[in-house]
Amino acid sequence: MNEVQTKNTGLSTLEHIIREQLGLPVSHLVLAEIVEISREIPENTNTLTPSHAQYLAGKFLKGMDLCGELYAISVGYELKMEVLKKKEHGLAFIVRSKNLGLKTAKEKEAYANTDDLYVEISDKYAESKMFRIRVESMRKDFEKAHYLMRKIAEGDSDLEATFSSDPGQSSPGDKKWQDWTDTNTNENSNKRKSW
């Protein structure tokens, strides 16, 4: 099993735990389907036909939809872990520190921040936040890939010129960008002068 499969297995396990914690069905894990769709993101778009690009645009749209579903679940779990983290900190600060005979606020705070139950729930909160960020990242990747596939399917010549040029060469897209930034820079400098 390679590193990517191991990481995906870890995320799938986390999705399973999240679904169980929130009382959602665990029979259909969408992360496996998202990973399968993400494997279809092409490394080289120069060889794509418009019909295949249209097909991929549809697949990536489905990937964005699945990421939206998973994002909603991950936000719910993250919020739940945040509440539990605050609860454990409060219990450690007020109840458990009192049982140990700690008197000052500094002593109680120091104990609460290092309490085993608080540290354990803090780790779960960090995992939930990491999971949400990863789902956001996957959705953005699908969004970019979908946009690119739609442009290829439409036969956008400016897009092809921009993406197929050599890295060291300027392209027509770069020229348009330079013209746009020059125009806006001149307009903005004129506005500043009029103040």
Q: Note the pLDDT of residue 114.
A: 94
| 177 domain residue, yes or no | no
Query: Is the model's pLDDT at 82 over the cut of 70?
Result: yes
In a domain, 113, yes or no: yes
More confident residue, 82 or 46: 82
Higher confidence at residue 32 or residue 117? 117
- The whole-number pLDDT of residue 159 equals 54
With a cut of 50, say whether residue 106 has pLDDT above it: yes
What integer pLDDT is reported at residue 168 of this predicted model? Answer: 47
Q: Which has more pLDDT, 170 or 159?
A: 159
Does 152 map to a domain? yes
Which pLDDT value is given to residue 90? 95
Q: Does residue 19 register a pLDDT over 50?
A: yes
The residue segments making up the domain with residue 44 are: 12-159
pLDDT of 30 reads 85
For residue 7, is it within any domain? no
Residues 159, 188: Cα–Cα separation, whole Å? 28
30 domain residue, yes or no = yes
Any idea how long the chain is?
195
- Per the structure, the count of domains in the chain is 1
Residue 75: pLDDT band by 50, 70, 90 thresholds? very high
Distance CA 146, CA 62 (A): 10
CA dihedral defined by 166, 167, 169, 175, rounded to 10 degrees?
110
Q: Is 179 part of a structural domain of the chain?
A: no
Of 23-37, 45-59, 112-126, 148-162, the one with minimum mean pLDDT is: 148-162
Task: Name the pLDDT band for 156 (thresholds 50, 70, 90).
Answer: low
Question: Is 166 inside any structural domain?
Answer: no
Domain assignment present for residue 105? The answer is: yes
CA distance 47 to 50: 10
* For range 24-44, the mean pLDDT: 84
Q: What is the pLDDT of residue 165?
A: 42
pLDDT tens track for 129-150: 999 999 999 999 999 999 999 9
